[in-house]
Structure 1
Amino acid sequence: MALVYHKELDLSTSFAIWKIEESADELLAQLQLKEHEFSYLETLISGKRNLHWLSTRVLLRTMMNTDEYIDCQVDSSGKPYLTNFPHHISLSHSYDYAAVMISKHKAVGIDIELIKDKIERIAHKFMNREELSFIDQDRIEHLYVCWCAKEAIYKLHGKKNISFLDHIRISPFSYEGAGSFQTSLETEKQINTYTVHYDKFEGYMIGYVADNE
Structure 2
Amino acid sequence: MPLHSVTSLSSSVVLGLWHLQESASELKEQLPHAEQYAALQPLGRDVARTTQWWAGRVLVHRLLPTFTTAIPVLHNNENGRPFFPVLPQYAVSLSHSGEWLAAIVATQGCVGIDIEIVRSKAQKLASRFLSEAEWANAGDETTKYSLYWSAKETLYKLHSRRGLVFKKQIMLDPFWLRNAGVLTGHLLLENFRSQHQIYYTCPATGYVLTYCYEDLPLPLPS
Give the TM-score of the pair, scaled to structure 1. Answer: 0.92
Tell me if structure 2 keeps the 8 A contact 1:18–1:98.
Answer: yes
Instruction: Write the deviation string for residues 4-27 of structure 1: whole angstroms up to 9, x where unpaired.
Output: 233322111121110111111111
Q: 1:148 aligns with which of 147, 150, 154?
A: 150
Question: Which residue of structure 2 lines up, in the alignment, with residue 59 of structure 1?
Answer: 59
Question: Which residue of structure 1 lines up, in the alignment, with residue 107 of structure 2?
Answer: 104
- For residue 52 of structure 1, what is the amino acid of its counterpart? Q
Unaligned runs of 5+ in 2: 217-222
Alignment of 1:60-75 (within 5 A): 60-65=60-65, 68-75=70-77
**Secondary structure at 2:155's aligned position in 1?**
helix
Deviates more, 1:27-36 or 1:139-148: 27-36
Offset of residue 212 of structure 1: 5.5
Offset of residue 120 of structure 1: 1.1
Partners of 1:130 and 1:42 lie apart in 2 by 38
**Secondary structure at 1:54's aligned position in 2?**
helix
- For residue 163 of structure 2, what is the amino acid of its counterpart? N
Partners of 2:43 and 2:127 lie apart in 1 by 34
Corresponding position: 1:88 with 2:91: yes
Tell me if structure 1 keeps the 8 A contact 2:122–2:145.
Answer: yes
Corresponding position: 1:207 with 2:210: yes
Partners of 1:108 and 1:59 lie apart in 2 by 16
Deviates more, 1:32-41 or 1:184-193: 32-41
Aligned-residue Cα RMSD (Å) equals 1.8
Offset of residue 46 of structure 1: 4.5
Partners of 1:47 and 1:78 lie apart in 2 by 20
Question: Which residue of structure 2 lines up, in the alignment, with residue 116 of structure 1?
Answer: 119
Corresponding position: 1:128 with 2:93: no
Partners of 2:187 and 2:117 lie apart in 1 by 25
Partners of 2:25 and 2:111 lie apart in 1 by 30
Percent identity over paired residues: 27
Tell me if structure 2 keeps the 8 A contact 1:72–1:82.
Answer: yes
Give the TM-score of the pair, scaled to structure 2. Answer: 0.88
Partners of 1:42 and 1:127 lie apart in 2 by 31
Tell me if structure 1 keeps the 8 A contact 2:6–2:63.
Answer: no
